[in-house]
């Protein structure tokens, strides 16, 4: 499947950040399982600061999803549908999130409800 047909998953952050390291490990572990429908990339926000203002990248670790150059939004129950800014350590849960967003994207939807809801920190 070409890149145009796959979901693009980008982890924005700093390679040395604890949350990024945890999330990178999960993304690396699942990369072979999702290769048929998703491409995973890492972007260091210090080395490539061009997206920081455009995507409002203020958190230590942010994951965003794109399909055919269109930003895919996902409702995780956190109040921010534009991006995921929390670590998911459960590998199957992360696969389910990526697959759910991919399936919705293929149907032309721009907003997806996550298969698992994550409340805001402190709630």
Tokens of 50: 């061009």
pLDDT at 77: 85
Tokens of 43: 């972007």
pLDDT at 119: 63
pLDDT at 80: 81
Q: Where are the domains of the chain?
A: 3-113
C-beta atoms surrounding 118 within 10 Å = 16
C-beta atoms surrounding 71 within 10 Å = 13
SS3 75: strand
SS3 90: coil
pLDDT at 81: 86
pLDDT at 83: 92
Please choose, from the candidates 35, 46, 47, the residue with its C-alpha nearest in 3D space to the C-alpha of residue 9: 35
pLDDT at 106: 94
Residue count of the chain, please give it: 123
Which segments of the chain have a pLDDT < 50?
Answer: 120-123
Q: Give the separation between CA 108 and CA 102, rounded to whole angstroms.
A: 10
**CATH number for the segment(s) 3-113:** 3.40.30.10
pLDDT at 2: 58
pLDDT at 121: 46
């Amino acid at each position: 499947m070409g890149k145009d047909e796959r979901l693009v998953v980008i982890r924005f952050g700093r390679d040395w950040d604890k949350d990024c390291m945890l999330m990178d490990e999960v993304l690396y572990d699942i990369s072979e399982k999702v290769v048929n429908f998703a491409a995973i990339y890492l972007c260091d926000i210090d080395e490539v600061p061009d997206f920081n203002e455009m995507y409002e990248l203020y958190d230590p670790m942010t994951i965003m999803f794109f399909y055919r150059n269109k930003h895919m939004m996902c409702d995780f129950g956190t109040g921010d549908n534009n991006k995921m800014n929390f670590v998911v350590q459960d590998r199957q849960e992360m696969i389910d999130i990526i697959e759910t967003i991919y399936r919705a994207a293929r149907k032309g939807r721009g907003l997806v409800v996550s298969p698992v809801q994550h409340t805001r920190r402190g709630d």
